[in-house]
Structures are given as C-alpha cells and as structure tokens.
Amino acid sequence: MDEEGVPGQDEATVKPRPELARADPDEGLFVILAEFVSVDDTRFDGYVTPQHEANIGWIQPTIVTAQGQVGFWLGGFPPQPGALDEAYATLGKTASELFPIRYRPVVGHGGVPLDGEIQGFMHLESLGSENIVTLTPTPSPRSRTGRSCSGGAGSSAGGTG
C-alpha cells in the first residue's frame, strides 16, 4: 500500500506488520525491534534493519527514546560539532557509560546475524572509501569483547567524551 501523498506520510513512513513471523530482506525493507545494553547494563529499545551483508551502514543499529532516536552509523561524514553531545544527552549517558554497547534483534529475521557490539559512533573515512572510522571513548575497565559489524576495514579515532 503506497501512502505517499497522505498527510504526514512519505516514502520513509514505516508501519507495523504484525502478520509477519519473520522479516526477510528478500521480501522488502524492514526495521525490526532490537534490544541494546550499554556497558553500565542500561537497557534501551531500538531497531536494526535485516540485510544480506554484515554492513553496519545498512544494518544501522538505532536506539529509540522518548527524547529522540540515536543512530550509531553517521554515514559518509564525521559528526557536526555538538552532535555527539546531543546524542549522549538524548540517551542520558556519557560515552564511558554507554560504550561498548551490545545489540540484538528480538524479532525473527532472514539475512545475516544482526547481533553485535558497537565501540563508538562510526562514519566512513571519506566518501568513496570503505574504511570505517570509529569514534571511541576513553577505554572503560568494564569493556567487553565481542563481535562488531563493519562494512570495511575499520580504523579508530580517539576521544569523543
């Protein structure tokens, strides 16, 4: 059902699909419920997008709060000044309270596994590059190891909060 032209809805409008038992990327574009757990064990709800490739830019793990959404994939450019401060404020956390943050889907899906661990906000090194820059906070003594999803050879940059 195409809802473009309906007030308040456009091509980015999402709607629930309660009849689906499993979100398969072969059947369309879906966002599915995911659980996020920060390094300080705070739980958040959010979503991920089922895909056939383990590319963080396509899976786009995102937390949803009453204050707004926080996505960890920033795309082809580094964050604007103050953008990360705003993200931390939306989550009510500092970088050291948040990262690394684990996520996992809570809905059945096709495609690649969608669980992982995020070390920091991420963006491409430059347009056209496959290298991902991870803006990592100061290391936490409670840091965990685990799987991290990336779309290319990762690199790291320090100090975001």
pLDDT tens, position by position, 119-155: 999 999 999 889 999 998 755 444 443 334 444 433 3
Cα 80 off chain centre by? 18
Residue 22 has pLDDT above 50, yes or no: yes
- Is residue 110 within 8 Å of 25, Cβ to Cβ? yes
Residue 6 has pLDDT above 90, yes or no: no
pLDDT of the residue at 10: 80
* pLDDT at residue 116 greater than cutoff 50: yes
pTM: 0.80
So what's the pLDDT on residue 76?
94
Q: Return the bridge partners of 62, or none.
A: 47, 71
From 38, 50, 44, 41, select the one nearest 62 (Cα to Cα).
44
What CA–CA distance (Å, rounded) separates 20 from 29? 13
pLDDT at 18: 86
How many other C-beta atoms lie within 10 A of the C-beta of residue 117? 19
The per-residue pLDDT for range 26-71, each reduced to its tens digit, is: 998 999 999 999 999 999 999 999 999 999 999 999 999 999 999 9
